Amino acid sequence: MGGIPFIVSAPSGAGKTTLCKKAVDFFPDLRHSISYTTRRPRAGEVNGVDYWFIEDRVFDEMIARDEFLEYAGVYGKRYGTSKKDLDNLLSEGLSVILEIDVQGADQIRERLPGAVGVFVLPPSIEACRVRLKQRGKDSPEEIEKRLNIAVEEIRKAALYDYIIINDDLEAAFEHFKSVIAAEKARTPRMLEKIAGLFGAVTEIK
Amino acid sequence: MGGIPFIVSAPSGAGKTTLCKKAVDFFPDLRHSISYTTRRPRAGEVNGVDYWFIEDRVFDEMIARDEFLEYAGVYGKRYGTSKKDLDNLLSEGLSVILEIDVQGADQIRERLPGAVGVFVLPPSIEACRVRLKQRGKDSPEEIEKRLNIAVEEIRKAALYDYIIINDDLEAAFEHFKSVIAAEKARTPRMLEKIAGLFGAVTEIK
């Protein structure tokens, strides 16, 4: 049985990355898709764990070979998701979290119709500002730029299957866990799983 | 915000009633729909808690006034769901579990398009037989009759949104809880909930 691809998007500072890490730690059959990027590693980031860090030239070659499910330029650097990496995980029966920005999600939705979209919403723009400041990775100007983009991104939340408000991290994680578990119990996936158990069930599929 | 109606069906002996009771105990905003029936109360059953026990004449009057969302005859007795009772709960923002047999679910699906269907599947027909024997409410002949009907009912599982296999009660309950929690996070319901919080989000609904 194939795994489920989950597309997770959020404006900067909504807490998406923390939620996704917790989910991957929790579900033994859930993996994180590792994106390819042309930006330099930040302190502590590991190649093949956080990202595949590649040269611009290699990125261009991957585009030329149509290896990306989606790619996008963010703040002058490029990020892309390998279709082959994803297919390999799914065909092993593993579900996969793809942390994708709103632009990239639009591309994937068309190319991966079985994907489940989850939008993580901050309780307010002010809460994003506080999180970005606490993270301490961006300059004040960079933070304001990200917040302006955030407002635009939030307008796309309605295109996702689920919306999770990340007000309290534990409560948001409970919701996210429920979404992942419930999607596994969806009838088309269950019919695949139980085929043979009750031959009759699948007859009227 | 309106609550969500969950239609829960299962063949006899799948453990549906136990699962539904646990869910209603767990979620403070979830209620059990109380059906109307013309059968006599069994030992320990309470009017207005387990069922509304009514006379055939009253049942006929309710049909005449079109008060039933669905009704059906099962083993010679009639059972029905009051549309007004359901609407009252939903409009208070409460979600409602409707334990409905497969026939009745077909009627409701048409009249209540927002309902979420959950089919509880036993791990095997043999497991149903064991549960029905343990319950001790039916004669051996009655049990065989119920099992024959069960096989027919299972053929309808594919018409529901979710399928939960009740092999282990606690695991099945975790799945059921996830389905209920995830449905609350579905985008159309969340947009209703967060309208005003982010005006922009609802613009592209």
> Cα separation of B11 and B8, whole Å?
11
Residue B45 predicted with pLDDT over 70 = yes
**Encoding tokens for residue A137?**
């990775």
Q: Do B179 and A183 touch (CB under 8 A)?
A: no
Residue of chain B with shortest Cα separation from A117: B187
Give the range with max mean pLDDT: A37-46, A105-114, A120-129. A37-46
As a whole number, the mean pLDDT across chain B is 89
Query: Which has more pLDDT, A120 or A146?
Result: A120
Q: Do A182 and B187 touch (CB under 8 A)?
A: no
Of B157, B180, B203, the CB nearest to A155: B203
Instruction: Return the SS3 of B205.
Output: coil
Specify the pLDDT at position A76.
83
Quote the percentage of chain A above a pLDDT of 70.
94
**Encoding tokens for residue A110?**
């068309």
Q: Which amino acid is at B146?
A: R
pTM for this structure? 0.83
**Which secondary-structure segment (H or E) carries B112?**
none
Count residue pairs from A and B with Cβ separation < 8 A: 114
The pairing of beta strand A5-9 with beta strand A116-121: parallel
Residue A163 predicted with pLDDT over 70 = yes
Q: What is the mean pLDDT of residues A173-185?
A: 95
> Cα separation of A23 and A173, whole Å?
8
Instruction: Return the SS3 of B5.
Output: strand
Ranges B44-58, B103-117, B183-197: which has the least confidence: B183-197
Q: Which CATH superfamily is domain A5-203 in?
A: P-loop containing nucleotide triphosphate hydrolases (3.40.50.300)
Using the 8-state DSSP alphabet, how is residue A167 labeled? S
Residue with tokens 């302006």: A148
Instruction: Return the SS3 of A78.
Output: strand
Specify the pLDDT at position A12.
81
In whole angstroms, how large is the CA radius of gyration of chain B?
18
Is residue A5 within 8 Å of A114, Cβ to Cβ?
A: yes
Specify the pLDDT at position A52.
97
**Encoding tokens for residue A34?**
């590792």
**Encoding tokens for residue A42?**
């930040």
> Cα separation of B184 and A175, whole Å?
9
Q: Tell me the β-bridge partners of A77.
A: A74
Report which of A7, A10, A8 is spatially closest to residue A149, judged by C-alpha positions: A10
Residue A16 predicted with pLDDT over 80 = yes
Report which of B94, B89, B98, B90 is spatially closest to residue B69, judged by C-alpha positions: B98
Q: Would you tell me how many other CB atoms lie within 10 Å of the CB of residue A19?
A: 24
Q: Do B162 and A190 touch (CB under 8 A)?
A: yes
Specify the pLDDT at position B202.
41
Residue A67 predicted with pLDDT over 60 = yes
**Encoding tokens for residue B121?**
């599947």
Specify the pLDDT at position A203.
42
Specify the pLDDT at position A35.
94
Report which of A8, A4, A2, A13 is spatially closest to residue A148, judged by C-alpha positions: A13
| A161 contacts in chain B (CB < 8 Å) | 186-187
Is residue A138 within 8 Å of A146, Cβ to Cβ?
A: yes
**Which band of pLDDT confidence, cut at 50, 70 and 90, is reported for residue A202?**
very low
Quote the percentage of chain B above a pLDDT of 70.
94
> Cα separation of A199 and A196, whole Å?
5
Q: Do A205 and B158 touch (CB under 8 A)?
A: yes
Q: Do A151 and B205 touch (CB under 8 A)?
A: no
Residue with tokens 């939903």: B90
Residue of chain B with shortest Cα separation from A157: B201
Is residue A96 within 8 Å of A6, Cβ to Cβ?
A: yes
Specify the pLDDT at position A197.
64
> Cα separation of A172 and B71, whole Å?
39
Minimum distance, in Å, between the CA of residue A95 and any CA atom of chain B: 17
Task: Return the domain boundaries, chain B.
Answer: 5-203
**Encoding tokens for residue A76?**
């002058």
> Cα separation of B91 and B6, whole Å?
15
Q: What is the mean pLDDT of residues A93-119?
A: 90
Model confidence over B46-73: pLDDT tens digits? 999 999 999 999 999 999 999 999 998 8
Q: Do B191 and A163 touch (CB under 8 A)?
A: yes
> Cα separation of A196 and B95, whole Å?
34
